[in-house]
């Protein structure tokens, strides 16, 4: 999940023509809790086509997000694996 503030009209990054599959190596990129400089982590795809219900920072405005890839790429130290990526 990526949140950009004040961004629009950005092109989509195309990194592969091959669909992800469970067991693939992946790189997670993020800025856990907006805590400063973006970071990255290596991981493995653990599940495909997952879904979550996302809300705003106040727990309101729920939106169902589907077609996500679950991986073991943790961005914040000390938080267990199983992060979500699109």
Give the C-alpha separation, 74 to 83, whole Å.
6
Tokens of 78: 């000390």
List, for the chain, all residue ranges whose pLDDT scores fall below the cut of 70.
1-3, 32-35, 75-86
> How much is the pTM?
0.62
The pLDDT assigned to 75 comes to 63
Tokens of 52: 């979550």
Max CA-CA distance within the chain? 37
Tokens of 76: 């914040």
The pLDDT assigned to 5 comes to 78
């Amino acid at each position: 999940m990526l949140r950009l503030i004040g961004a629009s009209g950005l092109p989509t990054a195309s990194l592969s023509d091959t669909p992800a599959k469970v067991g693939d190596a992946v790189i997670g990129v993020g800025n856990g809790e907006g805590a400063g400089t973006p970071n990255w982590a290596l991981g493995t795809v653990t599940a495909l086509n997952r879904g979550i219900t996302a809300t705003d920072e106040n727990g309101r405005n729920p939106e169902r997000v589907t077609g996500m890839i679950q991986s073991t790429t943790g961005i914040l130290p000390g938080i267990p694996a199983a992060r979500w990526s699109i």
